[in-house]
Amino acid sequence: MKACVLLSLLSCLVAPSGAAVMGRCTVAKKLYDGGLHYFEGYRLENWVCLAYFESKFNPTAVYDNMHGDFTGFGLFQIRNNDWCDHGKNLCHMSCADLLNPDLKKTIECAKKIVKGKDGMGAWPSWSLHCQYADTLARWLDGCKL
């Protein structure tokens, strides 16, 4: 019995082998190449900071919110109730498209979101962790863009 409990606990600690977490500079380069640097006036550092706080740089992340009223997809945890699949589908794409590590669809949808009235404030984690950060430059330290 103890062995089963221990095995269950250990399995919770092991990361899934298919996890596609990217490095900070890889994310920065893909976002830069996708045209997010100074898009709608937001510097690239803002986008990299957002990607960290939304998904820890995991472009295949899928998280249900605590209340079950939406699911977040991909690097920026884009919500299905407004932006993809069965909700309003304002990005005109499947939520699965937001899980591709090439980030093309993710960037396309993020651009639509940030053009809205809230800008990057559409992501509460950006408002909380990135909007007033004095050290945003650290998100690009050592990255070759």
108 has catalytic annotation: no
Nearest-angstrom CA–CA distance, 139 and 121: 19
Query: Choosing from 40, 45, 54, 108, which is the catalytic residue?
Result: 54
Written as one letter, the residue type at 59 is: P
Phi and psi, residue 142, nearest 5°? 80, 0
Residues with catalytic function:
54
